[in-house]
Chains A and B, each alone.
Chain A
Amino acid sequence: MGEKRLLVKGSPPAPLDRELTVVGMPLNRRDGLEKVTGQAKYSSDLHMPGMLHGKILRCPHLRARITRIDASRAEILPGVRAVLTKENTKGWRTYWYEIPQIALPECLTYEGQEVAVVAAEDVDTAQRALDLIEIEYETLEPMIDMEEVLKNPPPPCVADEEYPGRDLFDRKPFILRRGDVEKGFGEADLTLEETYTTPTQYHASIQTRACVANWDGQNLIVWDSTQGVWNSKGSLAKSFGLDPDQVRVIVEHLGGGFGSKAWAHRISFFAAKLSMATKRPVKMEQSREEEFLNHPHRYNSKITLRMGAKKDGTLTATYEKVFLNIGAAANRHNYNANGIIWQTSNLYACPNVHLEQIGVFTNLQLTGPTRSPFNMPAIFPLECHMDKMAGALGLDPLEFRLKNYSTYASTHVKAELREKEMKISYSSKKLDECMKKVTEAIGWERRKALSCFCQGPKRKGIGMAAFIAHQGGGIFPNTAHADVSIHPDGSINLYIGVVDIGGGQKTILAMIAAEELGVALDDITLISGDTEGTRYAPSCHSSRCTAEMGPPILQAAAQARQKLFEIAARFLHVTAEELASKNGEIYVRSNPGVSMPVRTICSNIDPDNPIWGSGSREINPEDPIFSSFGAQAVELEVDVETGGIKILRVTAAQDFGKAINPKLCLSQIVGGIVEFGVGFALTEEGIYDAKTGKMLNPNLHQYRLPTSLDVPHVDAFLVESQEPHFAFSARGGAELTNTPTPAAIRNALYNAIGIWLNDLPLTSEKILTALRAKHEER
């Protein structure tokens, strides 16, 4: 195992050898006041003088070619200032998710793809202009069903020339192997095979995408709704051939993202182009329907899993075949070729595995990061199968999991090391503690008795599931920076180019700086969500923000503090090395009674030369790897007459290292479970017309998110561990909290009614059909 040191470039600061006074405190989020008073400004709230409004004409077909487009009637409509079509934007590419893609192509590959864009004096005129654009399509047979596409691959059409991610168009599987899987099945006393399916899932952020772009002839400013201002800046610069210094991206507040806004999104490019064409600021805001159609949803999957085990429960072999619907756009940045079989390879110890994953390009909309993108389709089949295996072996599901507990990883997370079998340590793994904690908290011992519970039409059950997830950064582009300045008036600024997406980044990242400086959180002024005044910072996705920004923030703060100590040393008559700081005081370590307020020392800073501290993140080492773990248990009630499930309670334990702010960390856990977890399990799925592939439920009425009346009570626990590589031991973890929820619900459902269901969502219709079939069997 490599040296356990803070992941920063250069020499890491020594750990604070004192009690913590800010980190670990359940403080209120810093932007809460603006949010509860309605003062928080989101990009959709902005209005600028002379601002135009942009609207998009979208393709109604899944696969089509434009045979004629005539925008002349739209162009002469009074109030219209610019119309963009393929005719006047030839060669222009956007870089949505870093994918070079013809902005307005002739061949369209998904429903909702842009075919024309209009800027007008008001929304109404822009909308009317869209109706005046004459367009004719030649429609092509859409690719919808994954297996059908693989069996009969349609010949590439012209569209495929520009098909995003066509480098992955070979439709070949990625394979992970170790041991001898045939021999492993030969040694097994029990072999079980099942096929599981998971649906598409949509982010449904309550704020739809919106932005205002302003090109002044020299510089482009975009007030955006992206999760990463630096990512967006880079992509916009590339799209317009600008120097990155000419592009500034600002996000003051963001109304949800969950991965959907991880990179520059398509309207930002169009708004910028329209502003360049009109020399005026242009605002674009997506409707809820557009948010569904033009949207990178979660891949749907079909997964076959076969496992073999000895009578005592020891796993001998695992075979898995994964089909993943990549939809109409993806590349290596948002499609990870082994993002599902990696989890299967590592969660449990199994000597013989053969795991295959194949991503299939279809015309079923865009796909991309969605709160724990691969982890949910990975863990659902695996944790369902573990329960079925345990049942068939007559073992307790918890004991069966602990029997096959793995203390090390067999497949590395780094792409270039993945195909090799290895034995590599985790920086920490307390999954066993998590499993014990959640089962104890739910009352696992009641499980057997509950399977006989019968009160009128009500049945009850308990189930569990565990997970491994590799989130938390150290991924492309493998860098992150932070800066701290201290001024004579006592003000302390923290400059970080990150966006608070609701996870509390403005609060927890400032807490890291405050702790390291030895001051209160309120003493830190934050400059964030803006590419001006900050250096490159990651987008807040993949739970990477705390894990990637923590170390450089700590380094920058420590460096600034050291410079402050050098001034203080003159007044306290000791060397800077003998000083420490806490609660706004700088004191002599060996004699804490000798101290001076930080503010007083600051007054001696040269006004022309304020103190600066800088920090930069080092990339993750090869050894150990930093994965996050957790387990959940669910108690539910099923009505066998209606098929309705009521989830009574969820217990959740997560091993994320340590929480900088437990209050906000617990909110992340609960939030992930009740929305993306319960929703994926019970109600959420994109529904598409079987023939045309068009989405039938692109609204919040028919695409059903859990409401206040559906969500269960969650008891969440933090199982903490030491992580010297990260700032105050904080690894990433927020996005993955929903990962095991659907499997735990499905396993509890079995405990209640004795039926295994393998297809999400677990609708009342599926439950009733299964109950009827079981009844007829008897």
Chain B
Amino acid sequence: MAKRRLGLIVNGRQREAEIDVRLTLAEFLREVLGLTGTKVGCNRGECGSCTVVMDGKAVYSCSIPAVEAAGKTVLTIEGLAEKGGKLHPIQEAFLNEDALQCGFCTPGMIMSAKALLDSNPTPTETEIKTAVGGNLCRCGCFQNIVKAVSVASGKMAAREGSSDG
């Protein structure tokens, strides 16, 4: 089977690997790099649990060949907390607002929220719902998820404000 050399940045770190060209980005992250925080629930772009942020956009990593991520910058759930383990405001809000139950969709959900808040720091409720519209949560945590993203948005805006001042 065909192999190809792949180079990309994952969670701020340059990674190089010789991979089977058939690998999806999700498989590369989970099986080659051991980053199992990214989940796979359907492997055909329906459930969203494999969502990661690639070059600033939320993408289904199960539906992207790993080789297409060459030269790109990928952020996964493992790369979200700050150095020293301090939680990102989105993670903190998910925890405090009980925006998760079984937790399997949570990494993908948080990464969709991260991509949203990076491009739109003060989203409306509808914008939040739309941003996570491709992330299924069978435990039904959406009400708390919307609240958590909104709380995180407020917190990030306040932090932004204080660092400006």
A contact residues vs B (CB 8 Å cutoff): 28-29, 31-42, 44-45, 47, 203-208, 253-258, 287-288, 501-504, 663-664, 667-668, 670-676, 699-701, 705-709, 711, 713-714
Contacts and interface: CB of A to CB of B under 8 A. Distances in A.
A41 B142 contact: no
Contact of A207 (B38, B41, B46, B146): B41
A708 B135 contact: yes
Contacts, number: 166
A767 to B, nearest CB: 23
B77 A38 contact: yes
B157 interface: no
B133 A707 contact: yes
A116 B41 CA distance: 24
Interface of B: 30-31, 34-44, 46-47, 49, 76-78, 80-81, 87, 91-92, 94-96, 98, 100-107, 110, 128-130, 132-146
A381 B60 CA distance: 41
Contact of A253 (B40, B103, B133, B143): B103
Q: Chain B binding site: helix, strand, loop or mixed by DSSP?
A: loop
B136 A206 contact: yes
A42 B132 CA distance: 22
Contacts of A203: 138
Contacts of A671: 101, 139-141
Nearest to A258: B138
Given A256-B104, A288-B46, A663-B98, A37 B140 contact: no
Nearest to A46: B36
**Which of B36, B49, B77, B138: most chain A Cβ within 10 A?**
B138
Contact of B37 (A38, A254, A711): A38
Contacts of A706: 140
A504 B49 CA distance: 21
A599 B104 CA distance: 37
A714 B103 contact: no
Contacts of B92: 36
Contacts of B78: 37-39
Contacts of B49: 206
A206 B107 CA distance: 12
A699 B44 contact: yes
23 contacts: A31-B103, A36-B92, A36-B95, A37-B37, A37-B77, A37-B87, A41-B36, A42-B104, A47-B31, A204-B136, A206-B102, A207-B39, A256-B138, A502-B101, A674-B140, A675-B138, A699-B46, A700-B136, A706-B140, A707-B133, A708-B128, A709-B133, A714-B143
A208 B39 CA distance: 11
Given A36-B87, A673-B140, 6 more contacts: A36-B110, A37-B87, A206-B102, A255-B104, A502-B100, A664-B98
B22 to A, nearest CB: 8
Contacts of A41: 36
A708 B129 contact: yes
Given A31-B103, A42-B39, A708-B135, A667 B46 contact: no
A674 B130 contact: no
Contacts of B91: 36-37
B34 to A, nearest CB: 8
B81 A707 contact: no
A501 B98 CA distance: 15
Contacts of A204: 136, 138
A206 B129 contact: no
A207 B49 CA distance: 9
B76 A38 contact: yes
Contact of A667 (B35, B96, B98): B98
A597 B46 CA distance: 53
A725 B141 CA distance: 31
A713 B143 contact: yes
Given A36-B110, A255-B39, A206 B143 contact: no
A709 B42 CA distance: 20
B101 A36 contact: no
B94 A206 contact: no
Contacts of B144: 667, 670
Contacts of A31: 103
Contacts of A288: 41-44, 46-47
Contacts of B42: 288, 699-700
Nearest to B31: A47
A44 B42 CA distance: 13
A29 B46 contact: no
A255 B103 contact: yes
Top 8 A-B pairs, shortest CB-CB distance: A38-B37, A255-B104, A502-B102, A35-B103, A671-B140, A38-B77, A502-B101, A675-B140
Contacts of B136: 204, 206, 700, 705, 707
